[in-house]
Amino acid sequence: MKEFEVMLAGNPNVGKSTVFNALTGLKQHTGNWTGKTVEGCEGSYLSKESRFNITDLPGTYSLSAFSEEEKVTQKALNKKQYDCTVIVADAGALERNLSLALEVLSIQKRAVLCLNLYDEALKKGFRIDENKLGEELGVPVVKCCAYKKHGINDLISVVSDVCESKSETNRYYHCFDALNDRGIFISKTAREIFTSCVSKTNSGKKSQRDLRIDSVLTSKATGIPIMILLCAILFWITAVGANFPSEWLSRLFEFIKSELVDLFSMLSVPQFVKGILIDGVYTTLSWVVAVMLPPMAIFFPLFALMEDSGYLPRIAFNLDRCFSKCGAHGKQSLCMMMGIGCNACGVTGCRIIESKKERLIALLTNNFMPCNGRLPILIALIMMYFAGNPFGILSSVKVTAILTLILIFCVVLTLLISKILSKALSGETCSGFALELPPYRKPQIIKTIVRSFLDKTLRVLIRAVAVAAPAGAIIWLCANIYIGDVSVLKHLTDFFDPLGRFLGLDGVIIMAFILGFPANETVIPIMLMAYCSKGVMTGFTDYDSLYSILTQNGWTLTTAVCMIIMTVAHFPCSTTCLTIKKETGSIKWTLLSMAVPTAAGIVLCGAVSHIMN
């Protein structure tokens, strides 16, 4: 069987990932915002008894770009000649896309121009003569709408023909190499080709609609208030919707636990093995799943719908001025939004920031956004100390309002620390922020929800479970190994108690955060294990019982406030730390990413404790 190497290249936000999925049948995550793809994705498909190995490269506006993911594209295209390079272009923004197309054609002999999103171009009033465009470029041109899979078969056929026939070099191969002002000549050529091959039949109702919406959503007066309102609605749905399934899962896992205990007893399993497997590993895993799965299953799909609609880049646009004043990059706001779901994902997303200094600032501050593992802790604290009945309508509104205020506090803290880091870190000056605002699109609701659940929710959950399982065993050992008449866990909590008291907390809370390093979801169970002097992690049946346990162990309103601060301002979880190490390749920056939020939490907790007491 013959094998051919095919590359997908193009500007950001032109639907390359969607084309890739349509060709290969894989399910790479797609999103309606610039910089979504941060590394190449590989797949293959069969056609005409041949195998086509296809790579989806990160989007780039030119082959002289500077961000990490754009460098991936540059290196790949300059590395060798491929059997076919598919240049994916947004048919509704063809003039701008043609500049990159000409650059690619100047270094790749055999190519195909894929005019994606052609249906949207028609709605904007564009009419493209693809035959003439093909003659001008010297390559085949295929119109398609990848998310509807229109034109994909035509694209497969044309790619196959180009690979099989080893067609002649396109007319622009090496055309711009000898020119000095390469960009100027390419832009001029792109404009001439566009003018000769594209006509506009009307004003484009869709473009006018987008402009009207943007006049509200990106306005200086209404942009940020609407953003806060939408985030509040997102949190309200997540907080209210997660209550019941969390409770059901907790009951289910308790039932399974009782059955396992009976099974182990019937099999005469040694107490030590029973303890470490059931009271340690199983209890930890059940808590992680019961507490983490429902909020993620709600939050991630809703967040994906916002992303698919094209609203996320507007958030970056609204916050760009704030970040610029702090010496940071506007794209950092996109990484922050990703961090709300999972800080490890947010860290990976920092690749879209071109400047190394600004990228490091984003990496070091991403953990200030409360990830999905910390949201349940915040919700529990708000329920007990500020909101009352967790299932009441008024209570859910209070939870949403307070959670939104906490998120605003996290953004302000991120900006403040970014400002400090900008002054402290050496490096290049702040780079400009050129952000393409994609068109608003009707989200593919069912597909987006399903893919979000499979690609994000389950992936993050599996990663958390893999970390939580050994953590459960270690925690159980600490609680059940004694030195004298006191457990190792008790010795450790007593050691940290002076520091905890100074911060408005106690040694149990400090130790819970340390032992919760593998997974934040275990913080409250570890606290309850220590407070109740039990050798197993303890759950709670309702917020009233949890409140009673905490109050009996000296908790006050000051403790709750300081606990909220420490929850959003402490070292990243193990998964995020490993991701930072992978992204930076440096232990130094990984340790600093742990030190920065922890130092901020210590300072803030110390100040709040002193003021409130």
Helices in 532-586 by DSSP H: which ranges? 543-552, 557-568, 574-584
Cβ proximity of 7 and 14 under 8 Å: no
User: Across the chain, what does the average pLDDT equal?
Assistant: 82
7 DSSP β-pair partners: 55, 85
**Residues 153 and 16 occupy one common structural domain:** yes
List all residues 6 or more positions away from 204 whose beta carbon is below 8 Å from its beta carbon: 123, 124, 125, 126
Domain boundary, last residue among 170, 202, 234: 202
Dig out the tokens for 31 from the structure. Answer: 């999103």
Cβ density class 428-454: b for 16+ within 10 Å, e for less = eebbebebbbbbbeebbeeebbebbbe
Cβ proximity of 519 and 471 under 8 Å: yes
136 lies in a domain?
yes
**Residues 71 and 174 occupy one common structural domain:** yes
**Residues 198 and 227 occupy one common structural domain:** no
pLDDT value of position 178: 45
For residue 203, pLDDT beyond 80: no
For residue 527, pLDDT beyond 50: yes
The string of pLDDT tens digits covering residues 58-98 is 888 887 766 666 777 888 888 888 899 999 998 888 888 99
pLDDT value of position 392: 54
504 lies in a domain?
yes
Cβ proximity of 88 and 94 under 8 Å: no
**Residues 104 and 249 occupy one common structural domain:** no
Q: What order of strands is seen across the sheet that includes strand 141-143?
A: 41-47, 50-56, 2-10, 84-90, 111-116, 141-143
Which among 246, 296, 253 has a CA at the least distance from the CA of 542? 246
Provide the CATH number for the domain around residue 7: 3.40.50.300
pLDDT value of position 208: 73
Domain boundary, last residue among 202, 237, 257: 202
**Residues 464 and 339 occupy one common structural domain:** yes
pLDDT value of position 413: 94
**Residues 227 and 177 occupy one common structural domain:** no
Per-residue pLDDT band at 202 (split at 50, 70, 90): low
Per-residue pLDDT band at 314 (split at 50, 70, 90): confident
pLDDT value of position 242: 74
The string of pLDDT tens digits covering residues 104-132 is 998 888 899 999 988 888 888 888 998 99
* Whole-number Å distance between alpha carbons of 211 and 439: 9
Which residue matches tokens 């191969």? 173
Per-residue pLDDT averaged across 601-613, rounded? 92
Per-residue pLDDT averaged across 590-598, rounded? 95
* Whole-number Å distance between alpha carbons of 431 and 301: 33
Per-residue pLDDT averaged across 202-220, rounded? 75
In the chain, the percentage of residues whose pLDDT exceeds 70 is 87
**Residues 8 and 52 occupy one common structural domain:** yes
For residue 588, pLDDT beyond 90: yes
Output 10 or 428, whichever has higher pLDDT.
Answer: 10
Comparing 303-317, 388-402, 510-524, the range with the smallest average pLDDT is: 388-402
166 lies in a domain?
yes
Domain boundary, last residue among 202, 233, 261: 202
**Residues 190 and 227 occupy one common structural domain:** no
**Residues 195 and 229 occupy one common structural domain:** no
**Residues 273 and 311 occupy one common structural domain:** yes
292 lies in a domain?
yes
- Greatest mean pLDDT among 391-395, 536-540, 581-585, 592-596 lies in 592-596
- First-to-last alpha carbon distance for the chain, in angstroms, is 76
432 lies in a domain?
no
Per-residue pLDDT averaged across 158-180, rounded? 73
- Greatest mean pLDDT among 14-18, 66-70, 405-409, 443-447 lies in 405-409
| Identity of the residue numbered 327 | G
The string of pLDDT tens digits covering residues 271-290 is 888 888 888 888 877 877 77
Q: How large is the angle between the packed helices 205-217 and 223-266, nearest 10 degrees?
A: 80
471 lies in a domain?
yes
pLDDT value of position 164: 84
442 lies in a domain?
no
Per-residue pLDDT band at 350 (split at 50, 70, 90): confident
For residue 99, pLDDT beyond 60: yes
The string of pLDDT tens digits covering residues 359-408 is 899 999 999 998 877 877 888 888 888 876 544 555 677 878 888 899 89
The string of pLDDT tens digits covering residues 237-256 is 877 777 778 778 888 888 99
**Residues 192 and 234 occupy one common structural domain:** no
pLDDT value of position 227: 86
Q: How many domains does the chain have?
A: 2
* Whole-number Å distance between alpha carbons of 338 and 402: 21
For residue 471, pLDDT beyond 80: no
For residue 307, pLDDT beyond 70: yes
Query: Where do the DSSP E strands lie in 62-165?
Result: 84-90, 111-116, 126-128, 141-143
* Whole-number Å distance between alpha carbons of 310 and 321: 20
pLDDT value of position 434: 59
- Domain of residue 171 covers 2-202
522 lies in a domain?
yes
**Residues 126 and 272 occupy one common structural domain:** no
Which among 211, 414, 407, 408 has a CA at the least distance from the CA of 330? 414
pLDDT value of position 180: 43
The string of pLDDT tens digits covering residues 27-66 is 555 544 444 555 568 888 888 788 999 988 888 888 776 6
